[in-house]
Structure 1
Amino acid sequence: MGTASRDGRPGHGDGRKRSSSKNMKTAGGKGQKPAGKGQKTSGQGRNQQASTRKPHRKGSRPNVESGKVRLNNAKPARHQAPRHDLVDGDGATYVSDGMRLQKVLAAAGVASRRGAEELIAAGRVEVDGQIVLEQGLRIDPNTAVIKVDGARVVVDETKQYLALNKPKGVQSTMSDEQGRRCVGDLVAERVMAGQRLFHVGRLDADTEGLLLLTNDGELAHRLMHPSYEVPKTYLATVRGQVPRGLGRRLRSGIELEDGPVTVDDFAVLEIHEGQTLLRLTLHEGRKHVVRRMLDAVGFPVQRLVRTDIGVVALGNQRPGSLRVLDSKEVGALYKAVGL
């Protein structure tokens, strides 16, 4: 079973095993040297190496269980190569100036980069006939045969960037095991036509508004990552009339069970029949964060609509409809996340 070391080289460990074995055969003629006094055995060396290896991405590792059940958004190649046609022998080839495997999968629209890492960790990805379990293998995407769940992945550089006005009651998933209406239903014709799409982030079923869809994995990953602080604007209808100092309180920060949250901008737009319409801008992406924040200050949300993600605005787009982002919008999103 194939693995990749921390520097992306295929093999078990640091990539020196094959060369050291060769040297031992040359020196001793028997392919093996006994461990002398004070000398570690190869098994001890591997154990020590495993314990000192740097943890993945600041202490966190891809979730293997999530990777086992994660949806595979890959578009299979039209002509699948039979398994006996795969490379026989060394398997995955390390290319020093190549692209990391998880980035290739993300660029192909299989999943976000983090999702691709989970697929790799779960043993669902193979390169040139070799299952790759560890992260960071550098490959040539133009020559490598990449498969997910046994189906070859098409590395297509054609990018799609769409804005969806998600209606209330629609799940932010591409498929739903319980048969509920989901985003995948709204883009079914595009998917059947061969477009590989996945949603950038989520909106809960009761929240309406702007949701981006793309097959550009790197852009999607950065838009969802909190470190890039891409602002998102919401219109929230709450019960009651809010006090004058609520905006200042929200800007200074509200403590939630998973940490503090602040708004970047706040405005009262309308007060009517015991309800208040608010506009809030924040760069947080935590689950139900707007609802939880307003509930914490005593104003439960009656209706929530996301109207903007960075420079992309919902405008007058009808619920359930799609529109293609223009080049200025795509360029501004790239600029916002440093691409």
Structure 2
Amino acid sequence: MSTVKYKKSYTFAIKSTIVVTSFSVLLLLLLQYYFFEINFLFTVTFALLFFAFNFFILQYRVERFIYRRIQKIYKNVSILDETVLRNQPITTNMKTLMYEVNKFASEKKIEIESLKVREEYRREFIGNVSHELKTPLFTVQGYISTLLEGNIKDKSIRKKYLQRAESGVERLIDIVSGLDMITKLEAHELQLEFSTFDIVAVFQNIFDMLELKADEHDISLMFDKDHYRPIYVIGDKEKISRVIINLIENSIKYGKKNGTTEVRLEHFTKNKLLVRITDDGIGIDKKHLPRLFERFYRTDSSRTRDVGGSGLGLSIVKHIIEAHNEHIYLESSLGVGSEFSFTLQIEKNPADNL
């Protein structure tokens, strides 16, 4: 281990020596005035020698008794990161030392608070995962156990229970695949396949796919009539489609009877498109907005479980959009409705290059 090098400070010794020497010289002059004849050469020689002697003694004592303790403080304070001691010389200036100690304390306080937040998030996340998995697992187990206990011969009951068990398994698969996608996106392991595609065509296909589900909830799907012409963007078409499906399904789930879900496409900047998905549903209380994109976060657990879903939809949406280096926005008022919007990079029509 290399020896710690100190950047010495002589300020304390110099100032202290000046004060002591000045007092001593004044005292010597007074004694000479009252008892002897004043000798300026002797006085100057005395002052210089006395100054040098005092400076040497003070600096030596400060280094030996005070700075050694400073070194110990550095070692104790920097025990978690000893490289700080090796990368640069340590100053023995007390002002600098106090600044560095206070800085260290502030950083460690922030680090501890961050660890507490992470621990709370981890505990909450594990609880949510176990609860989300437990519900469909117990459902599947219950139906299978009922069949094994004697109802397996009844074809009508057998078919109904197996269908319900299958629904539970599908929910389990949805949760696991959603978690897998989020984990890979966070770890940058899920590769995005960028291409140029028509976002208008994507919306039209998704509207066709979700039309029946919207009809079941008496929700009208509306597309801004000004944007039926092609608009080309750059992104992973499959992942962006997943984002749009999740957002529209979310608006259908929490929409009101005879309500609407409207899509608008606007130029956010010269090279950015803003996709806006607006509904007039139940809306979201402002206190829930900062945490709405967290995994499994529920604004009302009883209500959201009634409408189904894995609780990962909005979290997946956020991660996919951020993986594209884009932004997602949310505005909502309780009882009025919600608007989710996100940006995409605009690209020229590929036909223009032909």
For the criterion TM > 0.5, the same-fold answer is no
Larger helix proportion, structure 1 or 2?
Answer: 2
Q: TM-score, normalised by structure 2?
A: 0.18
Q: TM-score, normalised by structure 1?
A: 0.19
Larger Rg: 2
Q: Which has the higher contact order (CA 8 A, sep 6+)?
A: 1
